[in-house]
Structure 1
Amino acid sequence: MSTEVSGTIECRPLARIWGEDDEDAVWHAAIDLFLLNAGNAYDALACLFGVRNSFGFQPLAEGRGLPEDASDGLRAAFNAWGGPQDAHGTTWISWAELAAANWDEPDGSGALSRSKVAGPGTHWAPVWDVMRTLAELHGPEQVRLVVWFD
């Protein structure tokens, strides 16, 4: 049985202007992961989120769950997918964390690197491009990717 990834990129545009504690500094669903064709290569899912991690990667963001302050759009997408009853491995990662990650870090065998399986030139590159652009506009801590799996 295959494992499919679903998710949404969110951003919090007014946090940079008014501060994170401002009542208008809420998260907004920016784009569905499906539109960016991230694919479901297991080595990428392993190194990013710890899903199907038979490769021995140290995942960047494993098992964090759905953010408490998730946008209404993200909650609607998550619930339409089946919510916590049907999704597993729900987690999230900010652009700041992705930008600071060691992309040269290898898997357990030393044969693959994080960059090779989920970096530039992979199906994940369009996701990183969108997140990078949003981070340039709104700040790296104000952009995150939220994912879940079936």
Structure 2
Amino acid sequence: MIECRPLARIFDEDDEDAVWHAAIDLFLLNTGNAYDAFACLFGVRNSFGFQPLTEDRGLPEDASDGLRDAYDSWGGPQDAQGTTWISWAELAAADWDETDRSGKLSRSAVAGEGTHWAPVWHVMRTLSELHGPEHVRLVVWFD
């Protein structure tokens, strides 16, 4: 799920109205199930030997109600594995040329703009342009 905190840029991040909102569920944007992408992004099923961008951060403490509802309907911590999150600021700063252990697969090749992840990155980029890169994040979990 992509989350956004739109009023944090207008008000202070600590303002009571600067809360996270569920923006869009990932299944609407990402039609693939490529384990190499899960490995390089989130460390899930990482037999490829990627250095993941984020791994096992858990659910954000300040997660939106919409995200918490989706997570709980999935089964919550009892059924969800590899729960983690990453901000657009972190994604934008990532080394997309970094490769897996074999040196054959780059992060860009398995999860970059030319892959089925492109729609996710487009939505996150657009939201970050409107609200700031630190106020847009992707939260994921797996079964």
TM-score interval (norm. to shorter): over 0.9
Counterpart in 2 of 1:28?
21
Aligned letter for 2:131? H
Structure 1's unaligned 5+ residue stretches are: 1-7
Counterpart in 2 of 1:91?
84
Q: Distance in 2 between matches of 1:93 and 1:38?
A: 20
SS at structure 1 position matched to 2:9: helix
User: Which residues of 2 match residues 7-18 of structure 1 at below 5 A?
Assistant: 8-18=1-11
Aligned length: 143
TM-score w.r.t. structure 1 length?
0.94
Counterpart in 2 of 1:140?
133
Among 108, 116, 125, the alignment partner of 2:118 is 125
Deviation at 1:37, TM superposition (A): 2.0
> Aligned residues: percent identity?
85
SS at structure 1 position matched to 2:109: helix
Across the aligned residues of Structure 1 and Structure 2, the Cα RMSD in angstroms comes to 0.6
Q: Distance in 2 between matches of 1:52 and 1:38?
A: 18
Counterpart in 2 of 1:62?
55
Q: Distance in 2 between matches of 1:30 and 1:80?
A: 17
Q: Distance in 2 between matches of 1:13 and 1:146?
A: 17
Counterpart in 2 of 1:5?
none
Residues 1:101 and 2:88 aligned together: no
Counterpart in 2 of 1:53?
46
Counterpart in 1 of 2:70?
77
Task: Write out per-residue CA displacement over residues 58-83 of structure 1, whole angstroms, 9 at most, x where no aligned residue.
Answer: 00010000000000000000000111
Q: Distance in 2 between matches of 1:9 and 1:60?
A: 16
Greater shift, 51-60 or 36-45, is seen at: 36-45
Aligned letter for 1:28? H
Structure 2's unaligned 5+ residue stretches are: none
Q: Distance in 1 between matches of 2:2 and 2:12?
A: 20
